[in-house]
Copies of this chain bind each other. A is one copy, B any other.
Amino acid sequence: MKFGGTSMAGTERIRRVAGIVRRQQEAGHEVAVVVSAMAGETDRMVNFCREANALYDPAEYDVVVASGEQVTAGLLAMTLQAMGCKARSWLGWQMPIHTDNAHSRARIESIDTDALLASMAAGEIAVIPGFQGLTDDNRITTLGRGGSDTSAVAVAAGIKADRCDIYTDVDGVYTTDPRIVAKARKLKNVTYEEMLELASVGSKVLQTRSVSLAMKEKVRVQVLSSFIDENAPAADTLPGTMIVSDEELAKLELEGLDMERQLITGIAADKNDAKVILTAVPDRPGAVATIFGPLAAANINVDMIIQNVGREDTDTDVTFTVPAADLDRTKAVLDEHRATIGYQKISTDPKVAKISVVGVGMRSHAGIAATMFKALADRGINIQAISTSEIKVSVLIDSDETELAVRLLHTAYGLDG
C-alpha cells in the first residue's frame, strides 16, 4: 500500500490511513505500507537547502529532504499501534534499499527483504518511508520528486507482493479527464504500456518511472482513492484500476472479466508543449540534423516533427514541438545556429495541445487513426501534426479546441459511460 503527501498531511489524516491499512490486515493480508512526507514538508526542506547553499551538495540535500518521510513513517507506525496493530518503521538505510550514488535522483538497485519479510510474517505491519535509499558507502539518497510511487513498486517487487495498491487523489485511471468529459468512465484494467503512454501525455496519476519499474518487475499495481470511507471494505473489493501486463489483460478478457473494454483505452490531452516552425529550410540531405543536433545537445526534448513542402521546390518548412518551458532556450539555440541551418524565419506558437488516443487494441485493428482524423475533420478541427506509436496516435491542434476534441473523440471511440 502506498499513500501520498495529501493523505499523510497531519495526524488526523494519518489516522484515516491507519484505518485503511488495518482493514487490509484484518482481511487476512500481510501488509507493507510506503508513505510520502506530509504535503508541503518536502518543499519546505528544499527551500531550506536553497537558502543554505544555492549550489547545494546533493548528498547533504538528501540528508535534509529524506527527513519528511522518516517523520510520517514513525507517526503511521505509532498510529497503527494505537489501533492495536503490531507495526514498525523500516527506514531506507535499515532494510536497506540499495541505490546508486546519483544523489537527489538515485535509482533503486536492490532491496534486502529478509528481515522485513520475517517481521511481516510475524504479523507486524511494515511502514516504509518512500523516496529514500542508501548508497554503497552508507549515505542517504533520494529518488527525485514523486519517487515514493517508485519506492512502493520496488518494495512490492522485492517482497513479491500479490499487489501494489497506490492510494491517490483520484479513485482510478479514467478513459479521459473527468473534469473535461463528464461521461468519462473509470477503467477496470490498463496495461503498463497504455499507462506509460497516458502518463507521458498528461494523465499524471502515477510517476512514469514507477510504471516502467512495475512493467519490468511484473508488479500488479492498483490505483485507488485515498478518500474512501473509513468504514469501506478492504481494497480487494474496491473498484480501483488495475495496471497489468498484456498477458494478464488477455487472460481477463478471455475469462470475460473486462467486458467493457474498448479498442481505445483512453484519451489524453497535453497543453505543455509549444510549436516551432522554421520556414524555408534548404531541402538537402542532412538539413534536419543541423536543427535537431544542437537542440539535443542543449537537452531539449523534441517531440512531434513534420516537414512540409516549402514555397520553392528547393526548400521546406520544418515544424516540431518542444516543452513550453524550453521555448525560450529553443529559440536561443536556433538563433545561434541560424547560419548552419539556413532557415528564413522562426515562428512559434505556445497555444497548441497534443491529443492522444491510446489502446493496446490498436495493434490488431486498422482504422483507429482514420476514425480520429475523420471525427476531428467533421467538426473543422485542424490537425497541425501527427505522431504515432504502436499503441498511440497523437495529433497537435489549437489549444482552444482541446476540450471539444477530447469530448468528440471520447464519443467517437464508444467510450462514453
**A residues adjacent to B (C-beta < 8 A):** 11-12, 14-15, 45, 48-49, 51-57, 59-64, 66-68, 70-71, 73-75, 77-79, 81-82, 88-89, 91, 93-94, 138-140
Contact = CB atoms under 8 A, between A and B. Distances in A.
A75 B48 contact: yes
Given A57-B81, A139-B94, A52 B75 contact: yes
Most chain B CB atoms below 10 A, which of A53, A56, A77, A89: A53
A74 B63 contact: yes
A130 to B, nearest CB: 15
Contacts of A53: 78-79, 81-82
A55 B66 CA distance: 26
Interface of A is mostly: helix
Nearest to A72: B64
When all copies of this chain in the complex are counted, the total is: 2
A89 B63 contact: yes
Nearest to A140: B91
Given A64-B70, A139-B94, A59 B88 contact: yes
Contacts of A81: 53, 56-57, 60
A154 B64 CA distance: 24
A51 B61 CA distance: 29
Contact of A77 (B57, B77, B79): B57
Contacts of A56: 78, 81
A55 B59 CA distance: 35
A1 B408 CA distance: 68
Contact of A61 (B48, B64, B73, B78): B78
A5 to B, nearest CB: 15
A236 to B, nearest CB: 27
Give the 6 A-B residue pairs with the shortest CB-CB distance, closest first: A63-B74, A64-B74, A53-B82, A11-B51, A67-B67, A53-B78
Contact of A52 (B67, B79, B91): B79
Contacts of A79: 52-53
B70 A70 contact: yes
Given A49-B78, A79-B52, A94-B139, A64 B71 contact: yes
15 contacts: A11-B52, A14-B52, A45-B71, A48-B71, A49-B74, A49-B75, A52-B75, A52-B78, A53-B82, A57-B78, A59-B88, A60-B81, A63-B71, A63-B77, A91-B140
Contacts of A63: 70-71, 73-74, 77, 89, 91
Given A57-B77, A67-B67, A67-B70, 7 more contacts: A52-B78, A53-B82, A59-B88, A62-B74, A64-B78, A93-B93, A94-B138
